[in-house]
Amino acid sequence: MTQRVIIREPGRHHGARYYTLKPEGYTPNWENQVWNEMVEWCVEQYGIAGDVWGEQGVCHRWYVNNAKFWFREQEDAAMFILRWS
């Protein structure tokens, strides 16, 4: 499956830069099978997602927040783009 993934300006969380990607036309809805597949793929590749509302000052490898995927490493964001667009 191919789709458009919009690269957003780098975001910040707990002072750390994150590369943010927004899959066009998909929102975080657990009934949305494609969204679920994207999240599951990320868990397989990068481990369990961080909790954006969890521990203060902790910068995890990746998050899902605000209908976007947030990646700490540019290489992880690139792999997501290659897989999903």
Rounded Cα gap, residues 61 and 46, in angstroms: 7
pLDDT in tens, 2-53: 566 666 667 777 778 899 998 887 666 667 788 889 999 999 999 999 887 7
Amino acid identity, position 63: Y
Q: Residue 82: what pLDDT?
A: 92
Please state the domain count of the chain: 1
Domain around 31: 5-84
Residue 49 near residue 63 (C-beta atoms within 8 A):
yes
